[in-house]
């Protein structure tokens, strides 16, 4: 344990930099995917052909290993292998594949009688979507967001294998030093802690946005 603290004191700046990079690389793709998934999920919910296309595309994306996708994107985009944008795009695609499905599932789960009642009360389609349909679908959507966020926190570590920053650098450094445990343990603890914190925050947001869901569970 003392060796871990000694390593942390000596390399505090490097560890902090890796942590900040990890947060940025993990959360930015989720935020982008979440914004894109709302209209795309609505489209998939509304049109059956779009659903088939989206589900097929999502399945194809998930069959591609993350490391292979990180190595493939520079050739497709003309970017440097070490450019963090490759990680952002790759994780955005993975997150989008999941969130489009959960957004559509959430919208599918909204009771049609509730929508009919809103229409009868004079709600126009756009207002009804934002004030009735989307809030009722939000528990399912945010469940998908939790999964995507935790998955991204873990997948960012793979980027260190091709030299891109993040907590994965601590893993590779430990292996390069002959399986030197302190950086590996620090990287592991910080990765798990980050995933737990992100999950707790999303749960708190979900409870704040959907108080009726808690009331119904009592």
Q: Cα–Cα distance between 179 and 184 in angstroms, integer?
A: 8
Residues 118-140: what's their mean pLDDT?
90
Q: Cα–Cα distance between 26 and 151 in angstroms, integer?
A: 9
Neighbours of 6 (CB within 10 A): 11
Q: Cα–Cα distance between 47 and 57 in angstroms, integer?
A: 16
Does residue 106 carry a pLDDT above 80? yes
Pick the closest to residue 151 from 32, 48, 30 (CA basis): 30
Q: Give the position of tokens 């209209």.
A: 39
CATH numbers and ranges of domains, the chain: 2-211 (1.10.3720.10)
Q: Cα–Cα distance between 46 and 42 in angstroms, integer?
A: 6
Q: What is the pLDDT of residues 170-218, one digit of tens each?
A: 999 888 888 888 899 999 999 999 999 999 999 998 888 877 666 555 5
CA 91 to chain CA mean position, Å = 7
pTM over 0.85: yes
* Spatial contact of 45 and 107, defined as CB atoms under 8 Å apart: yes
What is the pLDDT, as a whole number, of residue 218?
53
What is the pLDDT, as a whole number, of residue 214?
60
Residues 40-61: what's their mean pLDDT?
88
């Amino acid at each position: 344990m003392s060796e871990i603290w000694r390593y942390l004191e000596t390399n505090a700046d490097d560890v902090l930099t890796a942590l900040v990079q990890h947060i940025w690389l993990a959360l930015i793709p989720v935020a982008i995917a979440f914004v894109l998934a709302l209209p795309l999920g609505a489209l998939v919910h509304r049109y059956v052909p779009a659903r088939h296309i989206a589900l097929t595309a999502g399945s194809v994306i998930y069959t591609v290993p993350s490391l292979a996708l990180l190595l493939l994107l520079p050739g497709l985009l003309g970017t440097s292998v070490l450019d963090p944008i490759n990680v952002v795009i790759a994780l955005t695609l993975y997150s989008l594949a999941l969130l489009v499905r959960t957004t559509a599932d959430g919208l599918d789960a909204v009771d049609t009688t509730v929508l009919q009642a809103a229409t009868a009360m004079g709600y126009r389609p756009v207002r009804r979507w934002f004030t009735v349909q989307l809030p009722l679908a939000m528990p399912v959507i945010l469940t998908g967001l939790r999964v995507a966020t935790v998955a991204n926190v873990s997948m960012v570590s793979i980027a260190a294998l091709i030299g891109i920053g993040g907590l994965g650098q601590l893993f590779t450094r430990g292996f390069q030093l002959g399986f030197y445990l302190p950086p590996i343990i620090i990287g592991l603890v910080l990765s798990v802690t980050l995933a737990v914190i992100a999950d707790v925050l999303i749960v708190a947001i979900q409870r704040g946005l959907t108080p009726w869901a808690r009331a119904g569970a009592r």
